[in-house]
Amino acid sequence: MPEPSDNFFGQSAGFAPIKSQSEVQSAEGLRITSEELAQLVTDMAAGRENALAKFYDATSSVTFGLVLRILGNATIAEEVLVDIYDQAWRQAAAYNRARFSPIVWLCAMARNQAIKRLRSGVSSAPEMAGPFDGIESEASKMTIAVRAALDALPADQREVVELAYYRGLDYGEIADKLNKEFETVRTALRVGMMKLRELLKPVVERI
C-alpha cells in the first residue's frame, strides 16, 4: 500500500485534513449505498487517495459518534479519527466484503482504536461547551439506531453490553464492577448482543 501524500493527509504525514463535523454530511445524507462504500474501499486498496477522501466524508459522522461515545472528549475523538482512517487506508486490501459490510468493518476499527486510546490512560471526562456541543443531534443514522437499540434492551443487558462494547471490559471485569456473578454477566452479555444484532440487522443491511 503506497503512503498517502502529505498534502492530502494534512500537516503531518499520515492522514487527511480533519474536517469539522458540521462540514461533513452523514452517510444517510449522502445516500451512499453499501455497494458504493465497498467500491471506495476497493479503490483505496488500489492507492486512490480521492477514494479515501470520499470514504471519510461518507462515514466520519458514524465513526466520530461512536468514538465520542466511548471517549467522551471531542478533541481526542478527532485525533482518533486519524488513526481509524489511516488503518482503513492501510488495510483496505484485506477487506472481505463477504464477511462484513463496509460500515461494520469500519466501526470495528473505530471501536478498537477508541478502546486502545481509552486504555492508554486518556481521560474520558466530557469537555466544556465548545464547537462540538450538540454533536448528538448531528449523528448519523447508524449512531442513532445503535442508541435506540441499546435503549430497547432490558436494563441489565444494556448495562453489560455498554461496558463491554464502549469500555472494552471483559466478563470478569464487568462482574467485579457490577458485583455480579461471572455466569450472570456472561449470559446477560450473550443474550443482549444477540438481541442487539437482531434489532440492528435491518439498519446494517441498508447501509
Sign of CA dihedral 21, 22, 24, 25: positive
Task: Collapse the DSSP code of 14 into the 3-class scheme (helix H, G, I; strand E, B; otherwise coil) and give the result.
Answer: coil
Cell of 130: 465548545
- What Å distances lie between residue 132 and 20, 55, 163, CA to CA? 9, 22, 24
Q: Is 9 exposed, middle or buried (0-12, 13-18, 19+ CB in 10 A)?
A: buried
The owner of cell 487517495 is 49
Neighbours of 199 (CB within 10 A): 16
Q: Over its length of 207 residues, how does the chain's per-residue pLDDT go in tens digits?
A: 555 544 344 433 334 444 444 333 433 444 578 889 999 999 999 999 899 999 998 888 888 888 888 888 888 888 899 999 999 999 999 999 888 889 889 988 998 899 888 888 754 444 433 333 333 434 455 666 777 888 888 999 888 988 887 777 888 889 998 999 989 988 998 898 888 878 777 765 555
What pLDDT does residue 131 have? 33
Cα–Cα nearest to 53, from 117, 5, 2 = 5
What pLDDT does residue 171 have? 85
Greatest alpha-carbon pair distance for the chain in Å reads 53
CA pair distance 114, 94, nearest whole angstrom: 21
Sketch out the chain's domains with CATH numbers. 6-131 (1.10.1740.10), 153-207 (1.10.10.10)
Task: Collapse the DSSP code of 116 into the 3-class scheme (helix H, G, I; strand E, B; otherwise coil) and give the result.
Answer: helix
Within 8 A by CB and 6+ apart from 141, the residues are 26, 27, 28, 203, 207
